[in-house]
Chains A and B, each alone.
Chain A
């Protein structure tokens, strides 16, 4: 089936109308040496039957490993109804609808999503989602520069307890726009922001601090004290939160005396499958007073000419199709389909369901940590409360151990060597409600064998 509606005759007519001979001639302004001659390395096309076969062969090689990796993407049970409903034709679009008169259902769904996310985070207003948690942090940093009008420095404090990828994406996205990201170290015994290291910022102009809760190590930061410390110095607080954890933990809207100014996070735990890393979606919320500085789409509830309830995109004057280069962001699109799944997930789970998922994940991780740290050669890296992840230290390099576990069908966690080499052989592990006691026993047995065989060898 041809997806391009123009026939060769149409193309001829259009080219003739503007006086060029071929489509190639349209590109003659680009110097020849800058043009890619051929798509070397790209294989020939396959038809639907061939590609279907290739993909199912590749899918088989994935196997069905037991996954104990978290680190920003979490395996949760997704009720079958979530994607059965999400993939209905009425919802099946990646985009926010502009045409309110033809899109009331989708617009209402986005409005419900915003309401649920605002309620979960305890914040006043939510947008219709952004790409993912990492890009949400970058956008939140840019937003803080616009909204914190008392600060001129564009300096953003990013503790190293923030996800390493989020830090990288923030620098890549906003580093060339004049923002300076300054890393704040963590306390080596506790795995939380080293508050003593904040003293050197006394009296300096800092635009915002990013606080992840639970942090990348799974540990809980003292968010109340950090938020009040920042606000007393005119520093904006950007909260980065796991939505599942909010069923148990204090929402960012209630951190400290005033609450966080912007709260963001990755929405993947809410009904989005791991799918090798994406697509996911990011959520973004703030106080009403900063709503005009928030990027992205926002759906509002209104009444039509006859006084009936209706939904429509609102506050669009901030966006790129109206404000061009001065828009709040040049990424105004949202992750419509993933956000749809999350809305359905949240409505099926309800507050109690989400709380049970959070509590079960916390309990399973504790069970796993307790079992592992009983073993010779495994100990806990950080003391103090955590949510559903923990760092354990091994008595030998992590990579070969993980390989050995993988051979036994177990993804044993994330090797932190690349991100935190100073920790030594450190492994970030996670168990959600999807893991049973038998699964945890399998992990413990496999790790025991892996450590034993290495010892024998």
Chain B
């Protein structure tokens, strides 16, 4: 069973969200997702200042067997991409909820968000997908 920290929110497409003190949102992929992808060899994060829409592909995680899009869970502006991952993509494997974060977004006020899951709901989703 993969790790599902209790203080985060999740999406059906296996992203996690952490609301930071300043109201911005940190986004990454879950432990379950990194495990399914296998060893990551490349991570492409969005440019700072890019406007993203909820449900829009905004990053790419590439492993030795597949390249997958990461979808923005909210509409807003990218205020940081984790550029350290360019040289150390494996951090997403080893620390998916910490150093493996992909981007920070300032959500637009009242902007749409994709359907978010609680930790319990996400655990259930994993079970349904056969983790």
Which A residues are closer than 8 A to B by beta carbons? 149-150, 292, 317-318, 322-323, 326
Residue B77 at the chain A interface, CB threshold 8 Å? no
Residues on A with beta carbons closer than 8 Å to the beta carbon of B47? 149-150
Smallest CB–CB gap between A103 and chain B, Å? Answer: 20
Smallest CB–CB gap between A88 and chain B, Å? Answer: 33
Residues on B with beta carbons closer than 8 Å to the beta carbon of A317? 41, 62-67
Besides the known contacts A292-B62, A326-B67, 7 further A-B residue pairs in the complex with CB atoms under 8 A apart: A150-B47, A292-B42, A317-B41, A317-B64, A317-B66, A322-B65, A326-B69
Residues on A with beta carbons closer than 8 Å to the beta carbon of B67? 317-318, 322-323, 326
Residues on A with beta carbons closer than 8 Å to the beta carbon of B123? none
Residues on A with beta carbons closer than 8 Å to the beta carbon of B64? 317
Closest A residue to B64 by CB, please name it. Answer: A317
Which B residues are closer than 8 A to A by beta carbons? 41-42, 44, 47, 62-67, 69
Smallest CB–CB gap between B44 and chain A, Å? Answer: 7
Q: List 21 A-B contacts (CB under 8 A).
A: A149-B47, A150-B47, A292-B42, A292-B44, A292-B62, A317-B41, A317-B62, A317-B63, A317-B64, A317-B65, A317-B66, A317-B67, A318-B62, A318-B67, A322-B65, A322-B66, A322-B67, A323-B66, A323-B67, A326-B67, A326-B69
Question: How long is the Cα–Cα vector from A150 to B48 in the complex, in angstroms?
Answer: 10
Residues on A with beta carbons closer than 8 Å to the beta carbon of B66? 317, 322-323
Question: How long is the Cα–Cα vector from A292 to B60 in the complex, in angstroms?
Answer: 11
Residues on B with beta carbons closer than 8 Å to the beta carbon of A326? 67, 69
Residues on A with beta carbons closer than 8 Å to the beta carbon of B63? 317
Smallest CB–CB gap between B68 and chain A, Å? Answer: 9
Question: How long is the Cα–Cα vector from A149 to B64 in the complex, in angstroms?
Answer: 24
Closest B residue to A327 by CB, please name it. Answer: B67
Closest A residue to B50 by CB, please name it. Answer: A149
Closest A residue to B47 by CB, please name it. Answer: A149
Q: Which of A149, A317, A318, A326 has the most CB of B within 10 A?
A: A317
Residues on B with beta carbons closer than 8 Å to the beta carbon of A323? 66-67
Question: How long is the Cα–Cα vector from A122 to B47 in the complex, in angstroms?
Answer: 29
Closest B residue to A293 by CB, please name it. Answer: B44
Question: How long is the Cα–Cα vector from A322 to B63 in the complex, in angstroms?
Answer: 11
Residues on A with beta carbons closer than 8 Å to the beta carbon of B44? 292
Question: How long is the Cα–Cα vector from A132 to B42 in the complex, in angstroms?
Answer: 30
Residues on B with beta carbons closer than 8 Å to the beta carbon of A150? 47
Question: How long is the Cα–Cα vector from A326 to B61 in the complex, in angstroms?
Answer: 13
Question: How long is the Cα–Cα vector from A322 to B38 in the complex, in angstroms?
Answer: 15
Smallest CB–CB gap between A310 and chain B, Å? Answer: 16
Question: How long is the Cα–Cα vector from A317 to B64 in the complex, in angstroms?
Answer: 7
Question: How long is the Cα–Cα vector from A149 to B78 in the complex, in angstroms?
Answer: 14
Smallest CB–CB gap between B66 and chain A, Å? Answer: 6
Question: How long is the Cα–Cα vector from A317 to B69 in the complex, in angstroms?
Answer: 12
Question: How long is the Cα–Cα vector from A322 to B67 in the complex, in angstroms?
Answer: 8
Smallest CB–CB gap between A116 and chain B, Å? Answer: 26
Smallest CB–CB gap between A42 and chain B, Å? Answer: 43
Question: How long is the Cα–Cα vector from A150 to B50 in the complex, in angstroms?
Answer: 10
Smallest CB–CB gap between B60 and chain A, Å? Answer: 8
Give the 5 A-B residue pairs with the shortest CB-CB distance, closest first: A317-B67, A317-B62, A323-B67, A149-B47, A322-B66
Closest B residue to A319 by CB, please name it. Answer: B67
Closest A residue to B57 by CB, please name it. Answer: A326
Smallest CB–CB gap between A316 and chain B, Å? Answer: 9
Smallest CB–CB gap between A393 and chain B, Å? Answer: 50
Smallest CB–CB gap between A258 and chain B, Å? Answer: 19
Question: How long is the Cα–Cα vector from A149 to B69 in the complex, in angstroms?
Answer: 16
Smallest CB–CB gap between B82 and chain A, Å? Answer: 16
Smallest CB–CB gap between A220 and chain B, Å? Answer: 36
Question: How long is the Cα–Cα vector from A292 to B42 in the complex, in angstroms?
Answer: 9
Question: How long is the Cα–Cα vector from A295 to B64 in the complex, in angstroms?
Answer: 17
Smallest CB–CB gap between B40 and chain A, Å? Answer: 10
Smallest CB–CB gap between B101 and chain A, Å? Answer: 20
Residues on A with beta carbons closer than 8 Å to the beta carbon of B69? 326
